[in-house]
């Protein structure tokens, strides 16, 4: 696979893993797109569709979490495979716009765990943030 412009050169050895994450049904069916991907940070965005709004017209909490979770999944699966272990998520204000952006970056890594800080934005406004933890699968990471 050819490296897309939004993927940093440090990810070149991991293009198969990145391609898998960008081809995941959740990512594709929700019209999500990658903005930037490097080994230490990921930014993705998704247009807000009518189905993504709650009965008050704001972004549904599940939509916000889903986009944040996929940014987390991408960063954790660049070098190998990982699965989510826990999330501590805080919502600060309702999302109102037409595009959600999620940014993920590593806080700490160990032999068996990744700790990732993820933020969700409506334009420049911070909507939610959280600490996401994943298990690094040992058959891949050794």
Whether the CB-CB separation of 65 and 52 falls below 8 Å is answered with: no
Output the pTM of the full model.
Answer: 0.93
Domain count, the chain: 1
Q: What is the C-alpha separation between 137 and 54, in angstroms, rounded? A: 36
**pLDDT beyond 70 at 50:** yes
E-strand spans in 38-112? Answer: 41-47, 82-91, 99-109
- In which domain, by residue range, is 123 found? 9-141
Is residue 40 one of the residues assigned to a domain?
Answer: yes
95-111: per-residue pLDDT in tens? 999 999 999 999 999 98
77-89: per-residue pLDDT in tens? 999 999 999 999 9
Is residue 118 one of the residues assigned to a domain?
Answer: yes
Query: Using 50, 70 and 90 to split pLDDT, how confident is the model at 13?
Result: very high
* CATH number assigned to the domain comprising residue 84: 3.10.129.10
Whether the CB-CB separation of 72 and 34 falls below 8 Å is answered with: no
E-strand spans in 1-142? Answer: 33-37, 41-47, 82-91, 99-109, 113-122, 125-136
């Amino acid at each position: 696979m050819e490296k897309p412009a939004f993927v940093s050169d440090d990810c070149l050895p991991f293009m198969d893993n990145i391609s898998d994450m960008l081809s995941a049904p959740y990512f594709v069916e929700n019209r999500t797109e990658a903005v930037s991907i490097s080994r230490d940070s990921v930014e993705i965005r998704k247009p807000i569709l009518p189905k993504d709004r709650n009965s008050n017209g704001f972004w549904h909490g599940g939509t916000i979490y889903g986009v944040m979770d996929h940014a987390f999944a991408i960063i954790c699966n660049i070098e190998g495979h990982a699965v989510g272990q826990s999330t501590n998520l805080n919502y600060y204000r309702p999302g109102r716009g037409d595009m959600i952006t999620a940014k993920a970056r590593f806080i700490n890594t160990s032999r068996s765990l990744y700790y990732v800080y993820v933020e969700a934005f409506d334009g420049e406004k911070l909507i939610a943030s959280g600490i996401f933890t994943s298990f690094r699968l040992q058959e891949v990471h050794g």
